[in-house]
Copies of this chain bind each other. A is one copy, B any other.
Amino acid sequence: MKRTLQQIADAVGARLLGNGKIEVHAVASLARASAEDLVFVEDNKHLQSALASKAGAVIAGEFASTVAANKPLLISDQPKLAFARAASLLSDNQHYAHEAAVHPTAIVDASAYLEKDVVIGERAVIGAEAAIGEGTTIGAGCVIGRGVKIGKNCLLYPQVTLYPGTSLGDRVIVHAGAVLGSDGFGYVRDRNSGRYEKFPQIGRLVIEDDVEIGANSAIDRGALEETRIGRGTKIDNLVHIGHNCQIGENVIIAAQTGLSGSIVIEQNAVLGGQVGIGEHARVEEGVMLGGQGGVLPNKILRGNGIVFWGTPAQPVREYLKQLATLARIAKK
């Protein structure tokens, strides 16, 4: 979708230097940009490369505003953010377009409620009493269980499964193969027979607004209560989140991280990839935990901005000191 530089500057809050009538239709990297592409640089070091590229215009920081530029500049105090917003503006969502609103092969229960501008992909299944908000797209082959609530402008890629009763807010993105609302892993062992019997897993899963969930991730619903993923939280591929977890707002959870049951992750926490956290643990606001780090059950990590690493997780300075000490001793 073409836009003029002026339109983009206005939309992303940048200051335009140069001809605002020039049109671009996409964003690109410096190496791949054509004259119809927009690029960005975050520091002076890459500015000359950007100006030397084939790009039609460059988004840059204030540092670029005094440079003699051979092409238009969009000056922003957060150039990468401005670039991301420009990309969103220029996107026509061509990556998952449907021709029909509800594909004829989709199976939509008569009691399901679809607001306007809902797109249902090929052979998706929408269960009884499900409700899907305006502008939401359900990809091919998704299975939306009974009573699921999905907000406005959500995007579910193909083959997503939502278990009955799961609730999604607005603008939630779910990638292919993700399973939301599955049973938690809870059993009671009979002392007499030694057999495990299923503890009820009848709670719900609530996903708040602006959450994104990666491909083939699995998030369990609560056992008796609910599992909740807070507003703006981003979850990568192949992540596991167990029953009753409470994830705060704007949390980052990288790929293959696993949370067992009843864990609290407070807002703005950042979990690296392959992190593992034991049941009833708590990661407090703004804590960062390095990749493969492990947290024992019932443990609390605290300290906004503090980085933890290792298993069991420790403040990274202490942990690195231990690693260095061991390496030194072993060399003697």
What is the CB-to-nearest-CB distance from A174 to chain B, in angstroms, rounded to a whole number? 11
What is the CB-to-nearest-CB distance from A310 to chain B, in angstroms, rounded to a whole number? 8
Cβ-neighbour of A140 out of B28, B143, B225, B327 (below 8 A) = B143
Majority-rule SS of A interface residues: loop
Q: Does A292 contact B (CB under 8 A)?
A: yes
The residue on B at minimum CB distance from A85 is: B197
Q: Which of A159-201 contact B (CB under 8 A)?
A: 159, 161, 163-165, 173, 175-177, 179, 182-183, 185, 187-191, 194-200
What is the CB-to-nearest-CB distance from A89 to chain B, in angstroms, rounded to a whole number? 11
Number of residues in A with C-beta < 8 Å to the partner?
A: 103
Given that A87-B202, A125-B122 are known contacts, is A215 also in contact with B273, CB under 8 Å in the complex? Answer: no
Asked whether, in the complex, the Cβ of A196 is within 8 Å of the Cβ of B258, the reply is no
Asked whether, in the complex, the Cβ of B177 is within 8 Å of the Cβ of A216, the reply is yes
Q: Does A133 contact B (CB under 8 A)?
A: no
Q: Does A208 contact B (CB under 8 A)?
A: no
Asked whether, in the complex, the Cβ of B224 is within 8 Å of the Cβ of A29, the reply is yes
Asked whether, in the complex, the Cβ of B176 is within 8 Å of the Cβ of A157, the reply is no
The residue on B at minimum CB distance from A310 is: B311
Given that A125-B123, A216-B216, A224-B32 are known contacts, is A81 also in contact with B190, CB under 8 Å in the complex? Answer: yes
Q: Does A88 contact B (CB under 8 A)?
A: yes
The residue on B at minimum CB distance from A78 is: B191
Asked whether, in the complex, the Cβ of A177 is within 8 Å of the Cβ of B175, the reply is no
Most chain B beta-carbon contacts within 10 A, residue among A31, A85, A121, A200:
A200
Q: Does A255 contact B (CB under 8 A)?
A: yes
Asked whether, in the complex, the Cβ of B268 is within 8 Å of the Cβ of A292, the reply is no
CA of A311 to CA of B27, assembled, Å = 37
Note all chain B residues with C-beta closer than 8 A to A32: 224-225
> Interface digits, A134-166 against B, CB 8 Å rule (1 contact, 0 not)?
000001110101100000000001110101110
Q: Does A256 contact B (CB under 8 A)?
A: yes
Cβ-neighbour of A87 out of B88, B139, B200, B329 (below 8 A) = B200
Note all chain B residues with C-beta closer than 8 A to A122: 107, 125, 143
- If A216-B218, A242-B255 are given as contacts, then 14 extra A-B residue pairs at C-beta distance below 8 Å, sorted by A number, are A31-B225, A91-B202, A95-B145, A95-B163, A161-B215, A163-B176, A194-B268, A195-B250, A216-B217, A216-B238, A218-B255, A260-B291, A291-B294, A322-B326
> Which A residues lie at the B interface, using CB under 8 A?
26-29, 31-32, 78, 80-81, 83-85, 87-88, 91, 94-97, 105, 107, 121-123, 125, 139-141, 143, 145-146, 157-159, 161, 163-165, 173, 175-177, 179, 182-183, 185, 187-191, 194-200, 202, 210, 212, 214-218, 220, 224-225, 232, 234, 236-238, 240, 242, 250, 252, 254-256, 258, 260, 268, 273-274, 276, 278, 291-292, 294, 311-312, 318, 321-327, 329-330
9 A-B contacts (beta carbon < 8 Å): A27-B224, A96-B146, A141-B141, A143-B158, A161-B176, A176-B182, A182-B237, A276-B292, A322-B330
The 5 A-B pairs of least Cβ separation, nearest first, read A87-B200, A29-B224, A179-B215, A161-B176, A215-B218
